[in-house]
Amino acid sequence: MSRIAERRQEEKERRHSDIIDAAEAVAATVGLDAMTMDEVARKARLSRALLYVYFKDKPDLLFAICQRALENLRVRFEAVAHSHATGLAAIRAMGTSFVEYSREQPVRYDALARFARHAPQQADGAANERACLETGDSVHRIMDACIERGIADGSIRADVGPPGLVALSLWSYTLGIIQLATTKAAVIEHRGYDVEHLIEHALQMAARALAPR
């Protein structure tokens, strides 16, 4: 590749990233539902026509936000996996990290949670949709590996089930906890508990379910 071609590619990648930055900034103010492509174009200081060169429509842009979210989560999970001695400790810490992530990056988490409810079109999906699937797979592979490590080191019971299925179950469970804590805080408090107590208790229950009897 010539130097000119390299510069063009770098400029394309930079603009692609800048558009996602702009979309996240708009969504942080108005939410993903209310965000419009016109607002993103204005925030990114681009023409509407040029925006559509990079993203064919709003769902395509949401996939790009989700892919970034999943990549960010992958990096976090890798760090967690490498900083705990046992597989169970790593999985337990991933649950806490996921909850923290939902609070630190609400726009990205919202995009990620929406993708979790999305029915993927693997055969003919757009590039950003495929990237979400691929990065999501890489996140789950980290969880799978930690569960396998836990079975091998004895911190996770051997009859827990297939690691991939266990990882999916934990992912779904944690998504549900976060949704409940986010949307039903008043109900939780009405029943005499606070959100932090609910989250901690739920994560402890999951860890106990994985531990050897």
Q: Which sign, positive or negative, has the C-alpha torsion 100, 101, 104, 110?
A: negative
What structural domains and CATH numbers belong to the chain?
Answer: 1-55 (1.10.10.60), 58-210 (1.10.357.10)
Strand locations in 12-162 (E): none
pLDDT in tens, 71-124: 999 999 999 999 999 999 999 999 999 999 999 999 999 999 988 887 766 545
pLDDT in tens, 5-23: 778 788 888 999 999 999 9
Q: Per the structure block, which two tokens stand in for 14?
A: 């930079």
Exposure of 159 in the CB half-sphere (CA atoms within 13 A):
2
3 pLDDT above the threshold of 80: no
Q: What's the DSSP call for residue 49?
A: H
Which of 31-45, 109-123, 127-141 is predicted with the least confidence, judged by mean pLDDT?
A: 109-123
pTM confidence score: 0.88
